[in-house]
Amino acid sequence: MSGSENNGPRVGLIERYRDRLPFGVDDPVVSMAEGSTPIVYAPTLSQRVGAEVHLKLEGANPTGSFKDRGMTCAVSAAVRDGAQAVICASTGNTAASAAAYAGRAGLRCAVIVPEGKIATGKLAQALMHGARVIALRGNFDEALVLVRELVARHPIALVNSVNPFRIEGQKTASFEIAEDLGEIDALCIPVGNAGNVTAYWKGFTELGLAPRMFGFQAAGSAPLVNGAPVAKPETIASAIRIGNPARWEEAMTAFVGSSGMVREVTDSEILDAYRHLARHEGIFCEPSSAASVAGLLRYGPDGAARIVCVLTGHGLKDPQTALEQAGSVVPCEPEIDAVEAAVLA
Ligand code: F0G
């Protein structure tokens, strides 16, 4: 078959993997052709760590993060079940994704986010897609407790990763990795509420594969590493600023069952990896995503020869952190001598 042949429009992951997802052929599907994201070889990282390193670009999903994999399933199931509204607690990406899919499905959406602690792009998305955005004077963990109480009182579908449909959708990333690369030895992944590592492990397990799961938490928000919840989690990686992950047990099962590890990386290691990816690999991810690469750089491949690092969200989500971490612009008068001096300096 020639590459130029038209195979029709790209399909979303429910259509692509329906035989392995809890959806029948007649079920409603709310999709924006999410999934099927690129896996890109990383030459400079491979050289630095002495292993074959690939990056799974989840920022290429419709709303710019991996959440869309789970959200197509959670919102499709909500529509099937007759829900009128959806809700989530979020550090930003779940909010953006829920708002988008709910908007598309004609459902109302409310999102509860920690006040002042979510990246600008994510806030803009949630608002643009028409969600009711509630800025909680508290952190993500408190927001999640409150939404769980709220859905016990009202017929609103909860679309956080405590919802099993989220895990089902997100496990498809493992299927894609196996299809694109065959067997891998290790997966490096940032860990916040621990839904995503749970989902990847489920996906690999369903395929009969068992790559080592290397999870990384930010040092100021590392409950799984410490073995105890963190009351006041802190990190520049706002997406994973979580002190009491909902999928704690499942994540530990993944780390233990895969002979993997959960370890911490500092904010400065996260920012180093974030800048390295942008400058030397051409890939702009958000700071939380760079935790996967920061962990690989700090701890090394530990014997793994072929590794995938999951880059969970796009760098454009968080322009503020980017501008703080990047060089400054060069002001210039509109004259050739000035431009020449500015360019060649
Ligand atoms: N990376 C990004 C960019 C995220 O947004 C998140 C989680 C994670 C990694 C961690 O994934 O929670 O499944 O372990 N963001 C959630 C949110 C909490 O509300 O957007 P996890």
**What is the identity of the amino acid at 84?**
Q
Instruction: Say if 334 falls within a structural domain.
Output: no
Atom 11 in ligand 1: residue holding the nearest Cα: 192
Give a yes or no: residue 340 inside a domain.
Answer: no
Residues 48 and 180 grouped into a single domain? yes
Whether residue 289 is found in the same domain as residue 279: yes
Mutate which of 90, 201, 270, 312 to test ligand 1's pocket (most atoms within 8 Å of Cβ)? 312
Helix (H) or strand (E) holding 345, with range, is: none
In terms of domains, do 179 and 37 share one? yes
pLDDT tens string 174-193? 999 999 999 999 999 999 99
Provide the pLDDT for residue 39. Answer: 98
Q: Is 4 part of any domain?
A: no
Same domain, 190 and 299: yes
What domain range includes position 242? 13-65+165-324
pLDDT attached to residue 2? 45
In a domain, 241, yes or no: yes
Q: State the CATH number of the domain containing residue 283.
A: 3.40.50.1100
Same domain, 128 and 232: no
Measured CA to CA, the distance from residue 216 to residue 205 in angstroms comes to 20
Residues 221 and 75 in one domain: no
Give the residue, out of 55, 91, 198, 314, with the most ligand 1 atoms within 8 A of its beta carbon, to mutate for a pocket test: 91
Same domain, 133 and 233: no
The C-alpha atoms of residue 94 and residue 100 are separated, in whole angstroms, by: 10
Confidence of residue 5 (pLDDT cuts 50, 70, 90): low
Band of residue 8 on the pLDDT scale cut at 50, 70, 90: confident
What separation in Å is there between the alpha carbon of 239 and the centre of ligand 1? 5
How far does the centroid of ligand 1 lie from the alpha carbon of residue 332, in Å?
40
Beta-strand pair 52-57/85-89: unpaired
- For residues 209 and 280, membership in a common domain is answered with yes
Is the pLDDT at 283 greater than 50, yes or no? Answer: yes
Opening angle at CA 311, ends 295 and 161, nearest 5 = 100
Instruction: Tell me the per-residue pLDDT of 133-143, one tens digit each, with 9 for 90 and over.
Output: 999 999 999 99
